[in-house]
Homo-oligomer: A and B are copies of this chain.
Amino acid sequence: MISSQQALKLILKNTEDFGIEEIPFLESVGRVLKEDILADRDFPPFDRVSMDGIAIVFDTFTAGNRTFKIENVQAAGSKQLELNNKSNCIEVMTGAVLPINTDVVIPYEQVTIANGKAIIEIDKINQLQNIHKQGNDRKKTDILIKKNRVISPSEIGIFATIGKSTVKVAKQPKALIISTGDELVAVNENPLPYQIRRSNVYSMLSLLEELKIHAETAHITDDKPLLKEKIARYLEQYDVLLFSGAVSKGKYDFLPEVLDELGVKKLFHKVKQRPGKPFWFGKKGSKSVFAFPGNPVSTYVGCLKYFYPWYKKLVGIQYENQESAILSEDFFFKPELTYFLQVKTKNEKGRLYAIPVVGHGSGDLANLADADAFLELPDDKSNFAKGEVFPLIRYR
C-alpha cells in the first residue's frame, strides 16, 4: 500500500497532452487558455475623454480666460474634431476622442453653460486632467493575458475588446465514467429491497462538468467476459476511464484482473487513506484508468483528490496556491491512513476555518450535502488539534 502523497505523485507523472483546439470566445469560461493574448492596439486606442464636460487649451486658461465659446460637440464614437480657435472650447463626452488642439477637460460639474458659452467656475486645473492618454493602460502587442490561465468572465471582456472571437484552449480528455455492481438499478427504477440506485456516476459526471469535461456514462454488470469485452472497446474510444466499484477483494471484483488482462499497467492498487483505500490506477499507452471503490464518498473524494489534479496538470494549470484551512476543534483519528474529513468552511476575518461534519462516518453520502470540503489529515499522526492548519479540498 502506498501513501496518498505517493499515489498523487505517480498520477501527476502520468499525464498526457491532449493538444489544443480553437473555440468561440463566449464558450471558453472555465477552459484553459493556450495562447498569450496580446493587445491589438494601444489601450486606450486614442487620447480618451474620461469625464463629460468641455475640452479647452490649458494655456488659454492660465492666461486668465474663464469664458469659452462652444465651438462644437465631440461625441463618443465620432471622428476627431479640431478646435479652431484657441479661445473656444468643445463639449466632450466620456469615451470620445480628445479634439485636436485641446489638452485639458473640465467636467460639467465645474462649468456653467449658457448662451452658447461655458464659464469655468474653478481656478485650479491640471494640464491633461480627465484625459486617459493613448496607450496609458497597455501598449499595442503587450501581453494582456498569459496562456495557461483558467478563463473567467473577466477574460471574456478582454477577448471581446481585442476582437478575439475564437480562442485557443486546451482540448479536454474524452472521459467515460463507468459503474459496476449487480446491486445497481437506474435512477428512475424502484429498487428491490437488496438493490440501490446508480448514483456515483452522476456525482462524478457533475464533478467533471465543473471542469468543463462533458463525460459520458456506462454501466457494466459483474460479469467478467462482458467487462473485458466492453472495457477493451472503451479503452479504444476514450482517453480516460473512471470506474466506481469492483476494486476490492470480493469474488466479483473482477476489475483489476480484467484491466491486467487487457494490458492496462497497474501503477498502484490501494492507498493508505480513508475513505477510498482500494483505489486502483493504471495506464495503457496514453490511456488512463482511475478505478475508485464503489462507496459514494470514496468515489467523490477520489475524483477530487486525484482526478482533478491530474486534469489540471495536463491542461497546464500551475499549482501555486493549495488552499488550506484551520481546524476548528480537536479531532482524533487513529489508523495510519490519510483521513479525508468532511468539513464545513467558514471565513472569519480573513481566516478560513474547517468545522468537522462528523455525521454517520466517512461512508455517509448525505454528509456531503452538509459539508462543503474535505480537510486532508495526514497519516503520520492521530491527534489533530484545534488551530492546526491542513490542506483543504473544496467542492462548493
Contacts and interface: CB of A to CB of B under 8 A. Distances in A.
Most chain B CB neighbours (cut-off 10 Å) among A199, A253, A296, A300: A199
Given A75-B251, A181-B77, A396 B52 contact: no
Interface in A213-252: 222, 245, 248-252
A245 B93 CA distance: 12
A46 B97 contact: no
Nearest to A206: B153
A324 interface: yes
B347 A321 contact: yes
Nearest to A209: B29
Interface stretch (A2-10, A11-19, A261-269, A361-369): A361-369
Interface in A108-151: 108-109, 132, 136-138, 142, 144-145, 149-150
Interface stretch (A186-194, A331-339, A376-384): A186-194
A184 to B, nearest CB: 7
A152 B207 CA distance: 8
Interface residues of A, number: 114
Nearest to A78: B194
B157 A96 contact: no
Given A50-B363, A183-B95, A194-B80, A156 B202 contact: yes
A220 B79 CA distance: 19
Interface of A: 25-26, 29, 39, 43, 45-46, 50, 52-53, 73, 75-80, 91, 93-97, 107-109, 132, 136-138, 142, 144-145, 149-150, 152-165, 181-184, 187-200, 202-207, 209-210, 222, 245, 248-253, 294, 296, 300, 321-326, 346-353, 359-361, 363-366, 368-369, 371-372, 389, 395-396
Given A29-B209, A137-B359, 5 more contacts: A26-B205, A43-B365, A152-B372, A152-B396, A350-B353
24 contacts: A45-B191, A52-B250, A75-B182, A75-B252, A77-B182, A93-B252, A95-B181, A95-B196, A137-B361, A144-B366, A144-B369, A152-B395, A153-B203, A154-B371, A155-B369, A156-B205, A157-B202, A157-B300, A157-B368, A161-B365, A163-B188, A165-B188, A351-B351, A351-B352
